[in-house]
Amino acid sequence: MHNMLFEQRVVIKTESLPWQADSLSGVYYKPLAYEKNTRGHDTRFVRVAPGTEIDCVGSAGEEILVVNGECRFLVDDKTLNARQGCYLRVPHGKSFKLMTHSGCLFLEKRNQFCATDSKTVFTDMALSTWTEAQGNLRMLTLHEFNGEQVALIQWPAGQHFFSISHFCGEEVFVLSGEYRDEFGRYPAGTWMRNPHMFEYNPFCQEDTLLWIKVGHLPYPG
């Protein structure tokens, strides 16, 4: 297992990790958190080489956030064209295909869905309506289910919050800009997992785009 103690904070700057070759040709990854079980919890940063096609056989749910490049997903006989900021969510047992002509990078989370969370989701941030959020933030909700919330956040330069915490934890991926708190600075490509009710004081000195997921980690005890 790797980074599976959910009561601990984990911060990984993916630029610092080497790429590992996947068993699938043209696929490389950087492990972020996983169980040894091949169908267990798995969070990783993935690079797919140009000209690659992947058949993604049904798992216990899969999420993909496209970080760079372009690709196409074939889901339920529909072709979905994806680019930076596109989010795909495929429920339990459903297979799909990924194809890329020019190559792409994405954050991938597998085998972490509630069995009753059966909705397929595809959102392109460039074609979606954002809403005003707390402070001067803007938010694009991607998915909500049973206390879990997934969203993209546009965080403007100079915005500072104090004593942020989330019931059942939080994950953050920095798409662009730089996220900061009293513990450090987190450039684009950083993945962070904060445990249940972990308090910190986040801010940004430049416009920053974040993917955030809250309310989904195990309750302590």
Architecture of domain 126-214: Sandwich (2.60)
Q: What global pTM score does this model have? A: 0.96
Tell me if 16-124 shares its fold with 126-214.
yes
Q: Which CATH class is domain 16-124?
A: mainly beta
pLDDT digits 0-9 by tens, 11-68? 999 999 999 999 999 999 999 999 976 678 999 999 999 999 999 886 788 999 999 9
What pLDDT, on the 0 to 100 scale, is given for residue 82? Answer: 98
Q: What is the pLDDT of residues 183-203, one digit of tens each?
A: 999 999 999 999 999 999 999
Can you give the residue ranges of every domain in the chain?
A: 16-124, 126-214
Written as six digits, the tokens of 47 are 């690079």
How many Å apart are CA 179 and CA 181, to the nearest integer? 7
Q: Cα–chain-centroid distance for residue 96?
A: 18
Per the DSSP assignment, residues forming a β-bridge with 68 are 105
Q: What is the pLDDT of residue 38?
A: 66
Cβ-Cβ contacts under 8 Å for 169 (sequence gap 6 or more)? 6, 193, 194, 195, 196, 198, 214, 215, 216, 217
pLDDT tens digits, 75-117: 999 999 999 999 999 998 899 999 999 999 999 999 999 889 9
User: Long-range contacts: 139-142, Cβ < 8 Å, 24+?
Assistant: 142/87, 142/89
How far is residue 152's CA from residue 213's CA, in Å, rounded to a whole number?
A: 9
Instruction: State residue 36's pLDDT score.
Output: 79
Q: What is the pLDDT, as a whole number, of residue 60?
A: 82
Per-residue pLDDT averaged across 1-19, rounded? 97
Mean pLDDT of 164-182: 98
